[in-house]
Amino acid sequence: MRLIRNYQRLVENALTYSTRQARDIALELSETGIDSVMPSSLMRSHIACSAGKLEIGDKTYDLDAYDHLWLIGMGKASGTMAREMEEILGERITGGCIVDFQDSHLERVETWVGSHPVPDERSQGGADRLLTIARLAGERDLILALVSGGGSSLAEAPCPGLTLADIAAVNQLLLTCNAAIEEVNLVRQCLSRIKSGGLVRSAMPATLVTLMLSDVPFGLEYMIASGPTFFREKKYAEAVEVLHSLQIWNDLPDQIRSYFQLKAESGDQEFRQHMREAQIWERDHHQVMLLGSRRTALKAMESAARDRGFDCVLSGREILGNARTEADLWMRMVDQNRGAGKRVFIGAGETTVRVQGAGKGGRAQEFVLSALSDLAQMGDGAAVLSMGTDGIDNSVSAGAIGDSHSFERARRMDMDVPFYLEQNDSFSFFEALEDQLLTGPTGTNVGDLFISVLID
């Protein structure tokens, strides 16, 4: 069964044989990329359990030496990851809790359905349950924490003196102001009891293993889901600078501004108080394993493209800026690296959007919409695709695909590309063209994929 449910329709939307080929290859490679980062394959390649011995990477845990084994997690892939762990560990699991954005129907672990991209009461209930289970664990307990992107919103526990409504308001502002993910998480960490090592503080002195699927830039893995199992100092003063630079400081709730001003002066006293204790515990009782990332997807897509006889060009950097700007840079890269024969361009990252219009859309769809005018200048046989690996591009669509003729198809339907960009209404545009990628939630999340195909 195809991951992209409307795969055939998307191929048939091509007006020529060459663009049909280009679309087919782009769609096939996107499915390959997502398949490569599904927890079902990643976890089995890193984790095994036999005769009471749990092997995770290069470490072995004698399960008979622990009184309880707890499974906890947060993020858009946590439910899928937990299902695999139930298959591997079975009755060895004492219990636990997963906070996902859909019911995972687990057998031994509770599932809380949180809210994304803005936290609500369900998110707070899930976070409280995670912290409670972590506090229940004793010195002879083993906790497996399954952490993936999306967890920042799905599980939220406001710091004392703050309300969930305040934090939701901050999240909403951050979503629409073109903030990079590291800026967003820097701010969110400062406002939360569960982020920036909150689970660590609750879990000590138990043994903890963090299994991660990364949707953040390489080297910032401690930022996944805002780092619930990484004991790090909350940088209040830096967060204030970020909020000013994003020009949303004056739009924050009064209580949030007052909180940041107070904390920026005093600093993270809790971190300083427990730093030495936490560092020793992390060294002796905390294993961290990165199961997969967008690099995993890139390698899989590159290999598949070369197997199909395509020259393959990898973006030399992660695609992380504003969707419109990144689309312009991407199409320049494609144009500058054109050559005879079949060529594929692949990249990964997570763009941002500054919302100024009243339309509906997502960063992946806006990226493709922004590329259409340049794509139309490349002649027949060109296609561009962008999609969120979680299957959700701020809508029921995972992303979009366009080709050499999409701009003209839209013009014939009296749809003006600049107008839809101005309105941030990429969803309506691609819905009308029937060029949205429809997958539903995939059960994984490593950010976004970007693919261009040229068929000369």
> 224 lies in which domain range?
39-157+192-233+268-292
CA dist 357 and 419 (Å) reads 10
- At 56 the pLDDT is 97
Residues 220 and 339 placed together within one structural domain of the fold: no
Residues 335 and 273 placed together within one structural domain of the fold: no
CA dist 226 and 209 (Å) reads 17
> Which residues, 6 or more positions from 55, have their beta carbon under 8 angstroms from its beta carbon?
47, 48, 49, 61
Residue 176 domain flag: no
Residues 298 and 278 placed together within one structural domain of the fold: no
CATH number for position 284:
3.40.50.10180
Asked which of 292, 307, 342 is the last residue of a domain, the reply is: 292
pLDDT digits (tens, 9 = 90+) for 223-282: 999 999 998 899 999 999 999 999 999 999 999 999 999 999 988 888 887 777 878 888
Averaged pLDDT score across all residues of the chain: 95
And the tokens for 288? 């961290």
pLDDT digits (tens, 9 = 90+) for 380-397: 999 999 999 999 999 999
pLDDT digits (tens, 9 = 90+) for 43-96: 999 999 999 999 999 999 999 999 999 999 999 999 999 999 999 999 999 999
Task: Evaluate the omega torsion of the peptide bond into residue 205 and state whether it is cis, within 30 degrees of 0.
Answer: yes
Residues 395 and 412 placed together within one structural domain of the fold: yes
Positions of E strands within 67-191: 68-74, 95-100, 110-113, 141-148
CA dist 394 and 167 (Å) reads 19
CATH number for position 337:
3.40.1480.10
Residues 279 and 355 placed together within one structural domain of the fold: no
Distances (CA, A) of 151 to 65, 93, 107, 147, 442: 31, 22, 21, 7, 16
Residue 359 domain flag: yes
- At 281 the pLDDT is 81
CA dist 114 and 100 (Å) reads 6
CA dist 441 and 444 (Å) reads 8
Residues 16 and 71 placed together within one structural domain of the fold: no
pLDDT digits (tens, 9 = 90+) for 116-171: 999 999 999 999 999 999 999 999 999 999 999 999 999 999 999 999 999 999 99
CA dist 40 and 43 (Å) reads 6
Amino acid at 101: F
Residue 239 domain flag: no
DSSP H helices in 197-293:
198-203, 236-245, 254-266, 269-285
Asked which of 242, 276, 292 is the last residue of a domain, the reply is: 292
Distances (CA, A) of 95 to 36, 42, 62, 120: 29, 23, 18, 25
Residue 150 domain flag: yes
